[in-house]
Structure 1
Amino acid sequence: MTRTLAPPVLATKTTSPARTAPRARRLGPGKPIPYGRAAGPLLVIAIWSVASASGWLDPRLLSAPWTVVETGIALIENGKLPESVLTSLQRAGLGFVLGAVVGTTLAIAAGLSRVGESLIDGTVQVKRAIPSLGLIPLLILWLGIGETFKVVVIAIGVAVTIYIQTHASLTGIDKRYVELAEVVGLSRTQFVRKVVFPGALPGFFVGLRLGVTGSWLFLIVLEQINATSGIGYLMFQAQNYGQSDVIVVGLVVYGLFGFLSDSVLRLVERRALSWRRTLAG
């Protein structure tokens, strides 16, 4: 009697479920929130409104938001605010443009030449240690208290700010780029145009933004020193009469102009540096 053998059973290897690779953690701040920068000011206005409506805030110390709005409308209707705004814009704009031209020119001369750096950088660094507002008594002695004096003070402050940022960017170009430019045979002009200037643009725009903010800061102080016009003069007169609503209107105007001017520079910066990818998006 023949015995049939069953075919051998092959051991099958049990496979464990495939392991999924862990998802990479996002380290950046995420996508920009549309109009997110308005959240902070709106929160401040909301708290201010609640405090004024509930009586927690003395109107003699700080007027309610609706009172400030009514005062602003009245100042626009009687022509005081538009006239003051125009005067302040002329002072800040002229001082900023003059300071930007001077600061950029000095930074290029000092950043691209050792001779220029020897002649310019030390002097500017000494001036940097002296607050621009500390020069007011001397400049009044030289220029009087007219418009020239105010424009010059603003221009000096803006020029130093832009110089510091631009000069640091020009002299901070990575040495590897210099060596690469020498290897590919770029001329001095090509190296400056294709490597140095593009590399210095981020610092230059930072200087512009700090400079335009500084121009409004200097303007606030200057318009309260022997001035007869401008937003600062309007606020100084309101201080004498305890009109906190007029003072707040002036502060709001200063803040709006500072915010708008900085926003314009940010837009130009994004367009000019569209090749650069940063966390700010």
Structure 2
Amino acid sequence: MAISPTAVLARPETAAPARVRRRLPDLRRWISPVVLIALWQLASATGVLPPDKLSSPWTVLQAGAEVVRSGELGDAFAVSISRVAFGFLIGGAAGVLLGTISGLFKWGEVLVDPPVQMLRTLPFLGLIPLFILWFGIGEEPKIALVALGVAFPLYLNVHSGIRAVDDQLIEATRALGFTGAERLWHVVLPSALPQALVGLRQSLGLAWLALIVGETVNADAGLGFLINNAREFLRTDVIVVGLIVYAALGLLTDAVVRLLERRALRWRAR
């Protein structure tokens, strides 16, 4: 019996290598970063880019090794991570709770949404002087800034995700006799989860932004303090090291959320 070309293409053993190839990282994405770093090093070596403006990549690498050996980077890293963790727990809990209340209940939207929207329009980084007056110059204002940065994107996305649940699905659960708790667990939460995870990614990005600002104002420890201290001594290499660590932490947390998204949303059609 003759085998059609379509059947051959559909065989699992021929489709598997294609899936493997698709999962391999695209090395072409590294071309432009490598070229930019090479140009940066060349500009520094030829004097086009003075070291007091921006240190060369090689100098930055040496400075990174120096602050790692001295323990400065490890101590600053631990302090910054603890601030983000506490701020994220407080702001995340508030954002999810308020978004759920305003999304599920009409009275919740009437009572919760207006003040949240009013607060959301305030430039939260401009609240630093007020936070310093309220909490002093300790850890509290920095954690409060991170919490605010986390809360609003989560609130908006959780609220939007719940409100966007298909009405026909809700009607179907009523016809099937689902209780309110079963409807919430089996329909509303799974439907709102993709939007909530988008809010989580946005929240983590804003958390690091809020931390950078908070740690450069009246801080005596953390990555922001390390950068500020380096500025006083014109150590642009250490400044770049601190910025690279901030960026790496932001990328790492975003990758963790994307991994969580892939696992949590396996039921969704791709």
Report the TM-score when normalising by structure 2: 0.86
Q: Corresponding residue for 1:88? A: 80
User: Is 2:208–2:250's contact at 8 Å kept on the other side of the alignment?
Assistant: yes
**Letter of the 1:158 counterpart:** V
Residues 18-66 of structure 1: CA deviation (Å, up to 9, x unaligned): xxxxxxxxxxxx9566156655544432332333334432222111111
* TM-fit CA distance, 1:125: 0.6
**Letter of the 1:151 counterpart:** I
CA distance in structure 2 between the aligned counterparts of 1:158 and 1:148, rounded to whole angstroms: 15
Q: Which runs of 5+ in 2 are unaligned?
A: 1-20
**Letter of the 1:116 counterpart:** G
CA distance in structure 2 between the aligned counterparts of 1:212 and 1:63, rounded to whole angstroms: 29
Percent identity for Structure 1 against Structure 2:
42
Residues 232-266 of structure 1: CA deviation (Å, up to 9, x unaligned): 11111211222110110000000111111111111
* TM-fit CA distance, 1:136: 1.6
Query: Is 1:62 matched up with 2:54?
Result: yes
Q: Corresponding residue for 2:116? A: 124
Does the residue aligned with 1:225 lie in a helix, a strand or coil?
Answer: coil
Query: Is 1:106 matched up with 2:126?
Result: no
Does the residue aligned with 2:244 lie in a helix, a strand or coil?
Answer: helix
Query: Is 1:227 matched up with 2:219?
Result: yes
Residues 103-130 of structure 1: CA deviation (Å, up to 9, x unaligned): 1111111111112111111111111111
**Letter of the 1:193 counterpart:** W
Comparing 50-59 with 105-114, greater Cα deviation is found at: 50-59
Residues 138-185 of structure 1: CA deviation (Å, up to 9, x unaligned): 221111111012111211221111101111111111222222223333
Shift of the 40–194 alpha-carbon distance from structure 1 to 2, 3 Å rule, reads farther
Query: Is 1:244 matched up with 2:232?
Result: no
Count of paired positions: 249
* TM-fit CA distance, 1:277: 3.4
CA distance in structure 2 between the aligned counterparts of 1:115 and 1:175, rounded to whole angstroms: 19
Shift of the 127–274 alpha-carbon distance from structure 1 to 2, 3 Å rule, reads same
**Letter of the 2:79 counterpart:** T
CA distance in structure 2 between the aligned counterparts of 1:195 and 1:46, rounded to whole angstroms: 52
Q: Corresponding residue for 2:25? A: 34
Comparing 55-64 with 88-97, greater Cα deviation is found at: 55-64
**Letter of the 1:34 counterpart:** P
Query: Is 1:191 matched up with 2:183?
Result: yes
Q: Corresponding residue for 2:41? A: 49
CA distance in structure 1 between the aligned counterparts of 2:173 and 2:33, rounded to whole angstroms: 48
CA distance in structure 2 between the aligned counterparts of 1:43 and 1:103, rounded to whole angstroms: 41
Q: CA RMSD in A?
A: 1.9
Q: Corresponding residue for 1:160? A: 152
Comparing 86-95 with 55-64, greater Cα deviation is found at: 55-64
Does the residue aligned with 1:161 lie in a helix, a strand or coil?
Answer: helix
More helix by share: 2
Does the residue aligned with 2:137 lie in a helix, a strand or coil?
Answer: coil
Q: Corresponding residue for 1:140? A: 132
Q: Corresponding residue for 1:264? A: 256
Q: Corresponding residue for 1:151? A: 143
Does the residue aligned with 2:77 lie in a helix, a strand or coil?
Answer: helix
CA distance in structure 2 between the aligned counterparts of 1:267 and 1:236, rounded to whole angstroms: 34
**Letter of the 2:164 counterpart:** G
CA distance in structure 2 between the aligned counterparts of 1:232 and 1:272, rounded to whole angstroms: 34
**1:173 paired residue among 157, 161, 165:** 165
Does the residue aligned with 2:234 lie in a helix, a strand or coil?
Answer: coil
**Letter of the 1:232 counterpart:** G
